[in-house]
Structure 1
Amino acid sequence: MVQKLGTLIILLGIAVQGFGQDYVNAKQRDLMMKMDEGVALMNQGNYASADSYFQQVLTAIEVVPAELCFYFGKNSYHLKKYKQSIDWLNKYIEIKGTTGQFFDQAREYLALSETDYLAEKVEPTRQPRREAQTKLQRIDCNATPFVLCPVCKGSGVLIEQGALGSAIYRTCPYSDGSGRMTCEDYQKYANGNLVISP
């Protein structure tokens, strides 16, 4: 009797665990569908509605896909939210590097956003815009074990100004020799918790 009860409890635990995993997968699938709907709206030129969909996904998702960083950055450019666009496009490039599917587009929109952002800062009559929160919650380190180092921008070298105006070159302590940062270190860096031991 006790053995049957123990077996029943174990089976019930497995069933509950399986149900919980199914719920997580269904939630993730729903969020990805919502992101796809936002992309469709963006491609139709309905940027405000697309922004609403992207914001909903960003609020609810635990692991932010790199593609969402790109879509949100591109859409933000069309909404004239240039600083927000710059932040999110840079996040996409940091995560995917030069091999990302949208790298060329991200670089193009980044250049446009930077140009328009600088022009906007010079124009005193415009009111500052309220930007969406740019904190990257989490990225999937299993899918992306390395990102482009945001400190040295992938060069692996930091250049500092010397006392007499000469350049001082030193190896970036945040990246490996090829300008990459581990995903775990990037998570700490993004949250302001990355400490490099002397």
Structure 2
Amino acid sequence: MKYFFSILIFSFLFNFENSVAQNQKESLNFYYENAQSAMETGDYETANTQFRKILKLGVKLPSEMPYLFAKTLFEVGQYQNSQSFLDKYFEIMGKAGTYYDNAEELKKLLALQLNKSLSCQYCDLSGYRLETCVTCNGEKQLLKKCDYCEAKGKVGCTACSGDGVLIQLGAMGNRSYKTCHQCNGEGINICPVCEGDKELYTYCPNCLGSGSTSTEKICNHTEHN
């Protein structure tokens, strides 16, 4: 009886896995055909969506897909991602790929776009238009209260722990008291971080000190009025 149930469970799992694999294969073919059809009509946004659905399946990709996806990403302006998939295509297919000549042409077009992005002051490295950071208004830094001294401008002396005096033990165990040389007996020092100003400038956390943030607009590499 135990042997019978083992066979039954194995059979169920085997059929289930086959069913899942079959569904994934059908979905892959469906999305892949839709993506190629969209590319033929120039609808690269739809093609991009279909290719990404394939990636989510977690299955082995069609051998020519890295080029087709690279082409699609190029057309929607995602140049760095396009370069990554194009590199993968060359790695997998080499000169044997059906789209090898097309891939070589895309490689040249990508180089032009990436070079433009590198030298353009109006976009990020991916070719997306930059806009002034709304957090710091392009100033790259923000004036904030000093956390180290809690905006007091002074901190307790670390040498004497705020007592103002240093205690020294003699050879016989006797104690001697000496005015703290670091705080001159006051027990406090000027904050070493803000230097007593209670405030200090720090890099803007939104733009990381660049003064600008990326948008979703593809840059035309010219100044806007």
TM-score, structure 1 length as denominator?
A: 0.58
Partner of 2:11: 14
User: For 2:48, which of 15, 36, 51 is the aligned residue?
Assistant: 51
CA distance in 1, matches of 2:54, 2:67: 14
CA distance in 2, matches of 1:127, 1:104: 29
1:7 to partner: Cα distance: 3.3
The superposition leaves residues 31-76 of structure 1 with CA deviations (integer Å, 9 ceiling, x where unpaired) of 2311221121122111112111111211222323332211110111
Q: How does 1:159-170 map to 2 (within 5 A)?
A: none
Q: Secondary structure at the match of 2:17?
A: helix
Q: 1:119 to 1:128 in 2, by over 3 A?
A: closer
The percent of aligned pairs where both chains have the same amino acid is 21
Q: 1:40 to 1:31 in 2, by over 3 A?
A: same
Partner of 2:39: 42
Q: How does 1:171-182 map to 2 (within 5 A)?
A: none
- Structure 2 unaligned residues grouped into runs of 5+: 129-225
The superposition leaves residues 109-150 of structure 1 with CA deviations (integer Å, 9 ceiling, x where unpaired) of 11111122112221211244499xxxxxxxxxxxxxxxxxxx
Q: Secondary structure at the match of 1:66?
A: coil
Partner of 2:27: 30
1:12 to partner: Cα distance: 4.5
Q: How does 1:151-162 map to 2 (within 5 A)?
A: none
Flag as ranges the 4+ runs of structure 1 deviating above 3 A: 127-131
Partner of 1:170: none
Partner of 2:74: 77
Query: Which deviates more, 6-15 or 107-116?
Result: 6-15
User: For 1:115, which of 112, 115, 120 is the aligned residue?
Assistant: 112
Amino acid at match of 2:97: G
Partner of 2:88: 91
CA distance in 2, matches of 1:56, 1:23: 16
User: For 1:103, which of 100, 104, 108 is the aligned residue?
Assistant: 100
Q: 1:130 to 1:120 in 2, by over 3 A?
A: closer
Partner of 1:164: none
The superposition leaves residues 6-42 of structure 1 with CA deviations (integer Å, 9 ceiling, x where unpaired) of 2354144224302311221221221231122112112
The structure where strand makes up a greater share of residues is 2
The structure where helix makes up a greater share of residues is 1
TM-score, structure 2 length as denominator?
A: 0.51
The superposition leaves residues 68-104 of structure 1 with CA deviations (integer Å, 9 ceiling, x where unpaired) of 2111101111112222211111101100111111111
RMSD over aligned Cα, in angstroms? 2.2
- Structure 1 unaligned residues grouped into runs of 5+: 132-198
CA contact (8 A) 2:32 2:54 kept: yes
Query: Which deviates more, 30-39 or 61-70?
Result: 61-70
Amino acid at match of 1:43: E
CA contact (8 A) 1:85 1:110 kept: no
* Larger relative contact order, structure 1 or 2 (CA cutoff 8 Å, min sep 6): 2
